Amino acid sequence: MSAFTSFNPRTGEPGAATFEDASGEQVEAAVAAAERAFTRSRHFEPADMAIVLRAVAEELDALGDRVIETADRETGLGRPRLAGELGRTTGQFRAFAEVCDEGSFVEAVIDHARADVQLARPDLRRMLFPLGPVAVFGASNFPMAFSVPGGDTASALAARCPVVVKAHPSHPETSQLCGDAILRALERTDAPEGMFSLVHGRSKEVGETLVTAPAIRAVGFTGSLRGGRALYDLAARRPDPIPVYAEMGSVNPFFVTERALDARLDSIAEGFVGSMTQGIGQFCTKPGLAFIPEGEHGRRWTELVASKVEQMESACLLNAQIRDALADQVERTRRFPGVELLAGGASASGPGFAYPATLLAVEASAFLAAPELAEEHFGPFGVIVRCESAGQMLEVGRRLRGNLTATVHAEASEAQNVRPLVEELREKVGRLIWNGYPTGVAVTHAMMHGGPYPASTVALHTSVGTAAIKRWLRPVAYQSYPAELLPPALRDGNPLRIMRLVDGEWTRDPTR
């Protein structure tokens, strides 16, 4: 087994705690325990899991400053940001507990038998059931909210699926603290042993063993396009292919009209720079491409953005690999014809994994000729694309690949003018933002955090918000079954008092 430690991004110094890659036998044991746990958890009522989820939130809250300090040392993201992330993380568990208490996420549908129609039908009842054990890969950029206790883990547990998490090697101490907290919560609520397991590892063999384990029924991943696609292909080559819900690269295009610049030039510039560099540009929703009309307003906006970026001090990225990859990618991108360096672009000197915020500019014609300019640059980096006309801006939108978000800044008076652009962008993204900024993803019922490939491998689902639970569920229909063999959600009388679709009408009525 290979030993490793985390590194402090601010100093480049290794941490004190040493971890080892999990062996194949250890991964297989964790999966086997999850498989045994599922024989119990699949029979749980959702309200049973609500108790477990709230206990997890309480244990995570109890970590308090200890986990914030550890995460700050391993990521350099800062205590204020990480304190907020801890609150978001525990809030996710409580949100899914409410979903479980309410119960309608099982989508119970009942069509009673009828003989008085042209095509007679039997009694049919359908609902969603848990898939089984799930593998989750922690992300580097959110050591809690998208990592060991992140949304994938919370939503899978809410679906009553046991979870085996592979911790991200950039923050193993934080991962272990959170994993131990989850285990304490499961123990005190008498959840099945094996309902949650944590494995460590830097080698790809750990992840490969996990994804190919026969008992694993689905995978959750947040990270790079390369990593997510590798897991997707691996899962597809299994004798029994399984879904991989991978949230990957995104440049989150940002479009601004002439009228918007005339009305709000300064505020849009400030908001764009803040969003582009938030979290040192390591948010998957960072706006990495800004499409601006040519002309006086566009020139002034570009100069203002460049000035703000140039004044920013270099900040530390999460690890040396991210820093080096960004520096190499920026150097390649600068070589494309027509690319102009406006700010940054040189590797920073000094301790730690620092890199300066960097801004490039290019004409739309040159951008369209070089698809590589539309690839994600993970870090504090952006490209301003100058468009000659609204028609060229529409053409750019048409040529983009899948993204998590797209933002349009325009005035209310030109809503009809930008409709063609918005409708084109709708085909490319999972979330459309009007006069706002894409960073900051609310954990709500309506949130969509996903998009067409390469933003994610499955555009049908979200990885943030309560709808994320649907990734870990599958439908089963019962035809003409006796009442005593039906699950409570499908029985006459609606014993769970949940919302159901009965003979084509949504109702909680117990007489239906």
Question: Which tens digits make up the pLDDT trace of 174-202?
Answer: 999 999 999 999 999 999 999 999 999 99
What pTM does this model have? 0.96
Can you count the helices (H) and strands (E) in the chain?
Answer: 13, 21
Are residues 236 and 263 both part of a single domain?
no
What average pLDDT does the segment 323-330 reach? Answer: 95
CB atoms within 10 A of CB 122: 11
Q: Radius of gyration (Cα) for the chain, nearest Å?
A: 25
Quick one: pLDDT band at residue 2, thresholds 50, 70, 90? confident
**Residue 60 sits in the same domain as residue 203:** yes
| Domain assignment present for 300 | yes
What CA–CA distance (Å, rounded) separates 495 from 123? 19
Residues 92 and 209 in one domain: yes
The reply to whether 337 and 352 lie within a common domain is yes
- ∠ CA 317-436-419, rounded to 5°: 125
253-304 residue pLDDT tens = 999 999 999 999 999 999 999 999 999 999 999 999 999 999 999 999 999 9
Whether 288 and 152 share a structural domain? no
What's the burial of 216, exposed, middle or buried (CB within 10 Å: 0-12/13-18/19+)? buried
Residue 306 in this model has a pLDDT that exceeds 90: yes
**How many domains does one find in the chain?**
2
Kindly state whether residues 187 and 283 are assigned to the same domain. Answer: no
Structure tokens, 12: 């480049």
Distances (CA, A) of 14 to 8, 21, 43, 86, 270: 6, 17, 45, 24, 36
CA 300 to chain centre: 35
Helix 172-188 and helix 46-75, axial crossing angle in degrees, nearest 10: 160
Whether residue 417 lies inside any domain: the answer is yes
For residue 225, the enclosing domain spans: 30-248+460-472
Whether residue 45 lies in the annotated active site:
no
| C-beta of residue 409 within 8 angstroms of C-beta of residue 268 | yes
Per-residue tokens: 379: 């870090």
CA distance 288 to 378: 9
Same-domain status, 227 and 260: no
Q: Which of the four pLDDT bands, split at 50, 70 and 90, describes residue 323?
A: very high
Tell the burial category of 208 from Cβ atoms under 10 Å away from its Cβ (0-12, 13-18, 19+).
middle
Please write the tens of the pLDDT for every residue from 56-70: 999 999 999 999 999
Q: What is the pLDDT of residue 217?
A: 98
Determine contact, residues 96/466, Cβ cutoff 8 Å: yes
Q: Which residues contact 16 (CB under 8 A, 6 or more apart)?
A: 5
The whole-number average pLDDT for the span 317-330 is 95
Instruction: Give me the catalytic one of 35, 247, 258, 424.
Output: 247
Q: How far apart (Å, rounded) are the C-alpha atoms in residues 1 and 19?
A: 10
Output the pLDDT for position 512. Answer: 84
**Residue 387 a catalytic site member:** no
> Is residue 159 domain-shared with residue 285, that is, in the same domain?
no
Instruction: Band the pLDDT of 249: cuts 50, 70, 90.
Output: confident
Question: Is residue 442 exposed (0-12), middle (13-18) or buried (19+ Cβ within 10 Å)?
Answer: exposed
- Cα–Cα distance, 164 to 293 (Å, whole number): 49
Would you say 458 and 247 are in contact if contact means Cβ atoms under 8 Å apart? no
At 207-239, the pLDDT tens digits run 999 999 999 999 999 999 999 999 999 999 999
Q: Is residue 5 part of a domain?
A: no
Instruction: Output the pLDDT for position 348.
Output: 64
Three-class secondary structure of residue 28 per DSSP: helix
Confidence band for 1, pLDDT divided at 50, 70 and 90: low
Higher-scoring residue by pLDDT: 117, 378: 378
Confidence of residue 139 (pLDDT cuts 50, 70, 90): very high
| Banded pLDDT at 397 (limits 50, 70, 90) | very high
b/e code 167-201 from CB counts within 10 Å (16+ = b): bbbbbbbbbbbbbebbbbbbeebebbbbbbbbbbb
What does the mean pLDDT of the chain come to?
A: 96
Residue found under tokens 């009809």: 416
The CATH code of the domain that includes 244 is 3.40.605.10
Quick one: 261 and 380 in the same domain? Answer: yes
**pLDDT of 9 over the 90 cut:** yes
Q: Is residue 448 part of a domain?
A: no
Cβ of 262: how many Cβ atoms within 10 Å? 11
Q: What is the pLDDT of residue 498?
A: 97
Residue 347 has pLDDT above 80, yes or no: no
Boundary of a domain, candidates 386, 416, 434: 434
Confidence band for 350, pLDDT divided at 50, 70 and 90: low
The answer to whether residue 453 sits within a structural domain is no
Pinpoint the alpha helices (H) of 103-171.
151-158
Is the same domain home to 362 and 464? no
- What does DSSP assign to residue 403? E
437 has a pLDDT exceeding 90: yes
- Cα distance between residue 369 and residue 382, in whole Å: 18
Rounded to the nearest 10°, the torsion over CA 74, 77, 83, 89 is: -80
Closest CA to 9 of 313, 315, 349, 416: 315
CATH code, domain carrying 265: 3.40.309.10
Q: Which residues contact 233 (CB under 8 A, 6 or more apart)?
A: none
Q: What CA–CA distance (Å, rounded) separates 289 from 249?
A: 13
Average pLDDT over residues 372-378: 94
The answer as to whether 488 is a domain residue is: no
Same domain for 310 and 375, yes or no, is: yes
Q: How confident is the model over 120-131, as pLDDT tens digits?
A: 899 999 999 999
Q: Which of 100, 161, 178, 284 is an active site residue?
A: 284
Residue 403 lies in a domain: yes
Same domain (yes/no): 96, 192 = yes
Does residue 226 sit within a domain?
Answer: yes
Instruction: Determine contact, residues 207/21, Cβ cutoff 8 Å.
Output: no
